[in-house]
Chains A and B, each alone.
Chain A
Amino acid sequence: MATTPKPQETAKIDHRPPLFEKGWMDKPAEIRPGIYCYGSKPKNLEYVGMPYPKDWNPEDEDWQLPENWKEIIEEGFKDRLDRFRSLKVFMDICVRCGACADKCHFFIGSGDPKNMPVLRAELLRSVYRKKFTTGGKLLGKFGGGRDLTEDVLKEWWYYLYQCSECRRCSVFCPYGIDTAEVTILGRELTNLLGLNIDWIAAPVANCYRTGNHLGIQPHAYKDMLDFFTDEIEDITGLRMEQDMNRKGAEILFVTPSGDVFADPGTYTCMGYMMLFHYLKSIGLDITWSTYASEGGNFGYFTSHEMAKRLNAKMYAEAKRLGVKWILGGECGHMWRVLNQYMDTFNGPPDFLEEPVSPLTGTKFENAKTTKMVHLVEFTADLIKNNKLKLDTSRNDNLKVTFHDSCNTSRGMGFLEEPRYVIKSVCNHFYEMPPETIREQTFCCGSGSGSGLNAGEDMELRMRGGLPRANAVKYVHEKHGVNMLACICAIDRAVLPNLMDYWVPGVQVTGVHEMVANALVFEGEQKRTTNLRGEPLPGMEDEEDV
């Protein structure tokens, strides 16, 4: 595994490509350790029937490509041009104005010119021109075209998996060209040859088999929730058992499996459990599922088809259990898929009803056809209708800022709901600079499988996360912010590393962890610690119970 350079080393970035240099077309990618993730393992591709599984190392000269690999890519390209207007238009209309160039967190953090969104797309465009346009065929390089060679393919792979599909560039593009769309379809092409990264392929195979990315089997999933139930009991004195796979419940709850697996996501998960328990006595009828135990969708980082295959189990499970509607946990790309793809993929869910909050009677008009509600909007509605008794002073040790996830902001527009909830449960909230939040938010640096929890590309992750970390550092120094809140499981998994690297002293939390800390239960013991077992403000001297 590559060693990760120290922050001072990583910070030596030059964003100005040299003047006297061969053009980018003639410079093959140098596949560097620390920047790429390991190649997909054959067993993970085999499990879901993806083509050309093989044991391969991206640093090898020989990528064990099938003999007709060029035809496969070219046919795949043509097929996608015919199926996606987005691809066709985006291949044709870019004027290379450069507005997107310095908007990408990977370019900002690495200075690698091929991480400029425009150039990432040009990697494909150049091949497109040569193969599918008259100008490219006639003029070759002078027409912006180049042949598809093994070097070009390797370059595609290297840079397509350095994009986290965050869409920040598409906000600034005067024509709305979305590099995420180009990356998604480009990755589909690499997958035709069995070239994925294992940090995507393995979760996909796991999710297909066990229902979740982490491969947690049903009994283990239940074990984990039981463990959290014990933890919660220690803190509150109340036993908050959850229902699992229960038929006839009104609502099915689906959340990313990262929440049950690793800190600090686990505290968010405990937050969900406590909220549900709190609401049970006033009419919430909800169940978890071990089969639909994943909200996230790494299939989406593989191909549209795989996204659909993995997404299918949400509606299938809702139908089997006979619930009325589905509630979804805090997750980023999960919500892009649910908002922009789910109904189209696997709908219409005629067997479900239009979601209505059983506690407030609020109709979720904006979820009328997918029948899937975001937990944060559900909670926002509860708070607005005074259904929760909250003691915000329990979060007084926190100075909170909020990291908008790429997907919920630019693939949904879910900006105010989480802010409303956060401001309702804690007293100290500070925004990061406007160029780094809301629709202009920066990626955590590890989204879309371009890093996730991988250790082997830690350098890339720290580079990609630099703009986010820099903005956190700003509020950390200015306001003493010590808690970075988010509504995404990948954020919760990767931001702690990023904070430790660039901004030590800032922790990461999901929104519902703070909700649960503030939530006042009837009959609970006097709380002395938060969900993390740290003393609550003013309780520092209390004996540990």
Chain B
Amino acid sequence: MLHTEIAIIGGGPAGMCAAIAAAGQGARVTLFDRGKKLGGQLVKQTHRFFGSEKEYAGIRGIDIAKILCDEVEKNKLIDVKTDTTILAIYNDGVITYEEGKNYKRITSEKTIIATGASEKMLLFENNDLPGVYGAGAVQTLMNEHGIVPGNKVLMIGAGNIGLIVSYQLMQAGVKVEAIIDASPNIGGYLVHASKVKRLGVPILTSHTIKRALGKESVEGAVICELDEKWQPVSGTEKELDVDVICLAVGLSPQSELLRHTGCEVKYVPGLGGYVPMRDGNLQTTVNGIYVAGDTAEVEEASSAMVEGTIAGLSAAESLGYGKNISELKKSFISDLDSLRSGAVGEKIRSGIQKLGC
């Protein structure tokens, strides 16, 4: 059976940063990703990132993916396994996985779980019609494969993803008829909202979708207004002529593998759903199992990268690597605190407080 010092599951921003940080201290790392290449969601983020220079602010997500991938690939201590799906983590520390078509096993001394999050679905009539997409799928089609999903889009959700994907659709020459959100306020960064408004895209808050129209595929959508109790206001139904309905209604942490380990999870809506308890080193309640990125709490990629670094440093430190790790770690912890210290970080701060760690 194979053996590695640190197994890192998930090759997105958190996982890649964890690998770079741990290997940077001298630890031997195996980095797993189910995709054909590393990068996670970064590979379809064509917009410039927020944050500070340390988190590559002002650089586009696709380019951050390249920078991190290069760094991972040139580090001889990191063994990359792409096209590999982790199947289970057992009590005795054995991790089983499918690499290509082969079933394999590996043991690790420490494991960092950075599996990210998955998109939420929304209930409405005809939501199974072709033409109803998740925002992630639209980005994959458009930004990775150069295929537009349709011609006229109704975007559901005015959070950052809904706003950004609307902007990207407009860049690709696809018309966004409207962005609607059930909440009375725009959830995403207002600079993103201003960007799409400047293009003439209406943003309708306190609105929801009632049903998709069409037989074989989406031919339209019926939306309506919501009152202050989030109940539909009768007589406000409006039909939109669209062939795509794009859902950007939030993400849930992918905590399945974490649960295999038996670590304690708690339901905290502000963090995205079921999330693991963790200490300041991002170690879960199971010794040697760490967590980083959207699996820990649904947040921005900039925070995911810092968390990955902290988890990687912590895991390496616990194996006896490095000299001044605790100083280094402190500086990243303070970066993370500062990213979260403003008004938009409130939800995360109070969520983590609710976790009681």
Note whether A and B form a binding pair: no
B residues at A contact (CB < 8 Å): none
